[in-house]
Amino acid sequence: MDIVLNIDAKDLDLAEKIGAYYDEDGDLIGGKSVADAVVSKLVAQAAQGDYAKDLKRRVEEIRDEEIRRRISAAVESALAEPINLTNGYGQRTGQTVTLTELIMQTAEKWLSETERDRRTDRSERRINLLVRTQVDEALKTEIADAVKAAKETVAQQLGKSVADVVTDAVRAGLTAR
């Protein structure tokens, strides 16, 4: 939908106040500028038009993009800036690390700790359990896909063989008549 608006505004001052009045001291009270009134009217009409949903969706997209951009910048800054380490009492130890380094240290510590494997009842390093679990899942998926493909192939070939046998039997029966 195209909107065409032709206005001859040679003598129009957009800053001129409308809808205002003068009080007993001669001061101008209330009102708004012509520009504000025009914008208010356009916004009111846009909110009621067919394109209001598209306009709202686009405004929300722009808002979300801006939020993502700002959060991303804040996260990048937090990951890169050094932080002071503290002891168990919250007192600074004098050492500084970045949040990225701290996350890596924590992850390495967690992965190197042992955990009891429920299937074998043995203690193993978490990294070993994690790798084995992921490999098992990948193999299960791969094997399931291969079995499915093999079943489909066998079904197609058996279907052809059975169809050929039935066709031959019907032909033989018809020619014997």
Q: Could you read off the pLDDT of 104-128 as tens digits, one per residue?
A: 999 999 988 888 877 777 888 888 8
118 and 153 co-located in one domain: no
Residues 139 and 120 in one domain: no
Residue 57: per-residue pLDDT: 87
pLDDT at 177 over 60: no
Domain boundary among the residues 55, 76, 97 is at 76
Residue 137 belongs to some domain of the structure: yes
Catalogue the E-assigned strands of the chain.
17-18, 21-22, 28-29, 32-33, 82-86, 92-98, 114-116, 123-125
177/39: higher pLDDT: 39
Tokens found for residue 50: 């067919």
Q: Is residue 1 part of a domain?
A: no
Does residue 42 sit in the same domain as residue 86?
A: no
Say yes or no: 44 and 88 in one domain.
no
Among residues of the chain, what percentage have pLDDT more than 70?
94
Does 152 fall in a domain?
yes
- Mean pLDDT score of the chain, rounded to an integer? 83
| Domain shared by 70 and 88, yes or no | no
Is residue 11 assigned to a domain? no
Does residue 147 lie in a domain region?
yes
Structure tokens at 61: 């997209």
Answer yes or no: is 10 within a domain: no
pLDDT tens string 46-68: 777 777 788 888 889 999 999 99
Look at residue 12 and tell me whether its pLDDT is greater than 90.
no
pLDDT band at 21 (very low <50, low <70, confident <90, very high): confident
Do 169 and 132 reside in the same domain of the chain?
A: yes
> Domain of 24?
17-76
Q: Is residue 5 part of a domain?
A: no
> Does 103 share its domain with 132?
no
Residue finishing a domain among 124, 141, 161: 124
Asked whether residue 174 carries a pLDDT value surpassing 80, the answer given is no
- pLDDT given for residue 60 in this prediction: 93
How many domains are contained in the chain?
Answer: 3
Is residue 4 in a domain?
no
Residues 141, 100, single domain; the answer is no
Tell me the C-alpha to C-alpha distance, in Å, between residue 111 and each of 106, 107, 115, 126.
9, 6, 10, 5
